[in-house]
Amino acid sequence: MGRGARCVAVMVAAPLCACARPGPAEVRPVVVQLPAASASASDLAEERAEGGEISLPPRLDVPTAAACVLEGPFQPRGEAALLRLHEGGPAFAELRGGVDVRVHLPAGRPAGVAVEVNAGGLSLRGHAHLAAIPVRPARPLAFHGFAVPLGSALLDLHEATQGGELTVTWPGAPGVMPVSGPVSERLRCDDVTVGELEIDAVRAAGALDGEREAFLRLGREIPLSVEPGGPVVAALRARNDEDAAVTVVGTRGARVRVLWWREEALVVGWVPGVELRWSAPFSSVIGDASGTGLLGLLGTAGGERRVCEVDVPLVAQVGEQRATVGVVRAGTRIEVLGRRAGYTRVAVAAGGVWIQEGAQILARTSDLARCVRAGG
């Protein structure tokens, strides 16, 4: 540790700062090494008087034209999605969920996308790998007429057209074997979302002629068709008695129409009646099994605090690479951590946004000189 430096123990939940981050459900003391002299009010005024403002690095812009723009409350694939300084470049932040985003999809089969983030007092931009962006249904959609993905289901995005159409694939469900292989559909941009919505999957099934419980016969592949007597679109195979439960919602001759709930989809179609084991009628309410969940963590880094009357540009630095990635909005509290060569290292409390390890978030010291000191 350098001469004059000091360590403090702070309680951290999820700051946008350059310290080690705990797990999302963990709060523990973290030792943060501060510079020997953090930026005081006199330091900031001195910097402003020394030589005027330094130039900001290039701004990270989003494309002026996109084939499709997906927006909504973000729910990542897995734990987080990484925001990068440029396509294929180093990551400076993680998106954990609970923030509003706009994802700009270029036409064709893109590897990366531009992302705008609105996280309370923060407005950020960055690039992300397409594989990290969740694509989920925004309304009931019957893929190939028999599979209705729920709000939690992740779809695979393959291509976007300049006309605002997407080619997506439903990845399937246990026990459901489509006869034509991967189940793909051509959708409009507003058919999908980057969030997780509640989907009334039964609505896609149309009119229901009663409800009765039954069970798929075990040990066999049962043919499923969209229309009674129509071509087979998939084979169904249940694992056990619990897994085999279906709801019969129609009968036509020797065929019965069933609803079969999978973890992230509702399968609907006609099967031969002889392939079912029957039980007594029952009364139930058919509902959607999807759910929603938001993660929004707040934290503070424990430094001097400032509030500005205007938006303050933010610069992300990873190694020697820098880019202007957004702003702290006017009236948002900024934590001042340390001053260096015209810039001040800062932190901003932001739900769902974490600084990536090895990255720093900076503001021009001259911009902060215009701001007032805030209380604890």
d(CA 317, CA 355): 11
d(CA 121, CA 98): 14
Provide the pairing of β-strand 245-252 with 68-73: unpaired
3-state helix, strand, coil in the chain (%, to 5): 10, 45, 45
- Phi, psi (rounded to 5 degrees) for 45: -65, -40
pLDDT in the model for residue 303: 62
pLDDT in the model for residue 293: 23
For the beta carbon of residue 358, count every other beta carbon within 10 angstroms: 12
| Residue of 84, 106, 175, 186 whose CA lies nearest to 141 | 186
| Residue type for position 229 | G
Residue 375 half-sphere exposure, CB side, CA atoms within 13 Å? 0
Low-confidence spans in the chain with pLDDT less than 70 = 1-52, 279-303, 376
Instruction: For residue 301, give every residue at least 6 positions away whose Cβ sits within 8 Å of its Cβ, in sequence order, or none.
Output: 10, 12, 15, 17, 19, 32, 335, 337, 347
Is 23 buried (19+), middle (13-18) or exposed (0-12) by CB count in 10 A?
exposed
d(CA 128, CA 87): 7
d(CA 146, CA 288): 16
pLDDT in the model for residue 236: 97
d(CA 141, CA 147): 8
CB-CB contact of 327 with 312 (8 Å): yes
Beta bridge partners of 272: 255
pTM, full prediction:
0.74
CA 41 to chain centre: 39
pLDDT in the model for residue 376: 59
According to DSSP, residue 240 is labeled S
Instruction: For residue 49, give every residue at least 6 positions away whose Cβ sits within 8 Å of its Cβ, in sequence order, or none.
Output: none
CB-CB contact of 216 with 276 (8 Å): yes
pLDDT in the model for residue 17: 40
pLDDT in the model for residue 79: 82
CB-CB contact of 256 with 224 (8 Å): no
pLDDT in the model for residue 119: 87
